């Protein structure tokens, strides 16, 4: 048993989709979340910049004595595997658990992937999927504009801008006839109602935050690192003003976090 917190990070709010699932699955765990809101988005940046940010984010969480790290960011998970593999505590990203679920879910063998530009460029999800089943047919599309829509809370199926943006980005995926779509960026589950409306009920959406939270639960259980506590607490750190974060975080988490959000600055080596 291990009472230390689980550390979760993302470029901004998206990783909260994983936190929400963790809070549901493991209510006894303490969670430390870092959202790099001062530097979001990561997905449009160069590999070197993403690596530097990922390194600093992990260091920030390690300073909170976390027992496990989740990179709840498709971009970091796709680009910075080496950093995650060389930390003093176990760490996972979203690619492998999400790819495994998608490969199991598809019936027609056609899978779509949407993510940030950096994620799609890295081909991380494709590689993971083809390693499971080389016969899969994959269509991948970057959807960079989804991130600011979500960060600003423009996620209602009644929102014309969000609906048109989703339609435009998903045209190729729709034409490819996929029956399974990987939401390869942790921001995207917030747009799931609009995406489902656009693609129809025949397409299964795979939520990368959820699948990664489930893998974390399994790994902590297998290594006997679950907390013995019954009620855990969560603290949230951001690198820009907490107010904006708290407002939209409520939509992600389904409860208010005003009291628990603090501003910090990730530091370089």
Q: Which residues are catalytic?
A: 73, 185
Piece of the chain touching ligand DGL by CB under 6 A; list 10-18, 51-59, 84-92, 229-237: 10-18
**What is the nearest approach in angstroms of ligand DGL to the Cβ of residue 25?**
20
> What is the C-alpha to C-alpha distance for residues 259 and 269, in angstroms, rounded to an integer?
30
Indicate whether 165 belongs to the interface with ligand DGL (CB under 6 A). Answer: no
Nearer to ligand DGL, 64 or 121 (CB): 121
253 close to 16: Cβ distance less than 8 angstroms: yes
Number of residues located near ligand DGL, criterion CB under 6 A: 17
Q: Which of 75, 106, 204, 234 binds ligand DGL (CB under 6 A)?
A: 75
Indicate whether 70 belongs to the interface with ligand DGL (CB under 6 A). Answer: no
Query: DSSP string spanning 64-125?
Result: TT-SEEEE--HHHHHH-HHHHHTSSS-EE-SHHHHHHHHHHH-SSSEEEEEE-HHHHHHTHH
> What is the C-alpha to C-alpha distance for residues 152 and 156, in angstroms, rounded to an integer?
11
122 close to 116: Cβ distance less than 8 angstroms: no
Q: Which of 5, 7, 35, 74 binds ligand DGL (CB under 6 A)?
A: 74
**What is the nearest approach in angstroms of ligand DGL to the Cβ of residue 221?**
25
Indicate whether 57 belongs to the interface with ligand DGL (CB under 6 A). Answer: no
Q: Which of 26, 73, 140, 149 binds ligand DGL (CB under 6 A)?
A: 73
**What is the nearest approach in angstroms of ligand DGL to the Cβ of residue 145?**
11
Indicate whether 185 belongs to the interface with ligand DGL (CB under 6 A). Answer: yes
**Residue with structure tokens 């970057």?**
142
Q: Which of 11, 23, 37, 122 binds ligand DGL (CB under 6 A)?
A: 11
74 close to 116: Cβ distance less than 8 angstroms: yes
Query: Cα 47 from chain centroid?
Result: 18
Indicate whether 5 belongs to the interface with ligand DGL (CB under 6 A). Answer: no
Residue with nearest beta carbon to ligand DGL: 43
- Alpha helices (H) along the chain: 16-25, 47-62, 74-79, 81-85, 95-105, 117-122, 124-132, 146-151, 160-175, 192-199, 208-222, 242-253
> What is the C-alpha to C-alpha distance for residues 132 and 219, in angstroms, rounded to an integer?
20
Indicate whether 93 belongs to the interface with ligand DGL (CB under 6 A). Answer: no
Piece of the chain touching ligand DGL by CB under 6 A; list 9-17, 156-164, 173-181, 197-205: 9-17
Give Cβ neighbours of residue 193 (< 8 Å, ≥ 6 apart).
155, 157
User: Quick one: tokens of 52?
Assistant: 């530097």
Indicate whether 147 belongs to the interface with ligand DGL (CB under 6 A). Answer: yes
Indicate whether 119 belongs to the interface with ligand DGL (CB under 6 A). Answer: yes
Indicate whether 187 belongs to the interface with ligand DGL (CB under 6 A). Answer: yes
Indicate whether 14 belongs to the interface with ligand DGL (CB under 6 A). Answer: yes
Query: Which residue from 64, 73, 71 is spatially nearest to 86, judged by alpha carbons?
Result: 71
Question: What does the radius of gyration of the chain's CA atoms come to, in whole angstroms?
Answer: 17
Interacting residues with ligand DGL (CB under 6 A): 10-12, 14, 40-43, 73-75, 116, 119, 147, 185-187
């Amino acid at each position: 048993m291990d009472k230390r917190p689980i550390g979760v990070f993302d470029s901004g709010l998206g990783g909260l989709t994983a936190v929400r699932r963790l809070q549901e699955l493991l209510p006894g765990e303490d969670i430390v979340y870092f959202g790099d809101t001062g530097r979001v988005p990561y997905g449009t940046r160069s590999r070197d910049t993403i690596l530097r940010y990922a390194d600093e984010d992990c260091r920030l969480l390690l300073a909170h004595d976390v027992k496990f790290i989740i990179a709840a960011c498709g971009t970091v998970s796709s680009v910075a595997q080496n950093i995650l593999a060389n930390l003093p505590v176990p760490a996972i990203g979203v690619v492998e658990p999400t790819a495994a679920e998608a490969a199991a879910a598809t019936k027609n063998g056609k899978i779509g992937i949407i993510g940030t530009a950096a994620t799609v460029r890295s081909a991380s999800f494709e590689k993971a999927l083809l390693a499971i089943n080389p016969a899969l047919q994959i269509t991948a599309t970057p959807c960079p504009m989804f991130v600011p829509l979500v960060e600003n809370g423009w996620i209602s199926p009644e929102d014309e801008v969000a609906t048109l943006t989703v339609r435009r980005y998903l045209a190729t995926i729709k034409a490819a006839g996929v029956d399974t779509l990987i939401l390869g960026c942790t921001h995207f589950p917030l747009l799931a109602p609009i995406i489902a409306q656009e693609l129809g009920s025949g397409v299964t959406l795979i939520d990368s935050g959820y699948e990664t939270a489930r893998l974390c639960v399994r790994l902590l259980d297998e290594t006997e690192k679950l907390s013995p506590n019954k009620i855990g607490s969560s603290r949230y750190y951001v690198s820009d003003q907490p107010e904006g974060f708290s407002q939209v975080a409520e939509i992600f988490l389904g409860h208010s976090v005003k009291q628990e959000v603090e501003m910090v600055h990730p530091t370089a080596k």
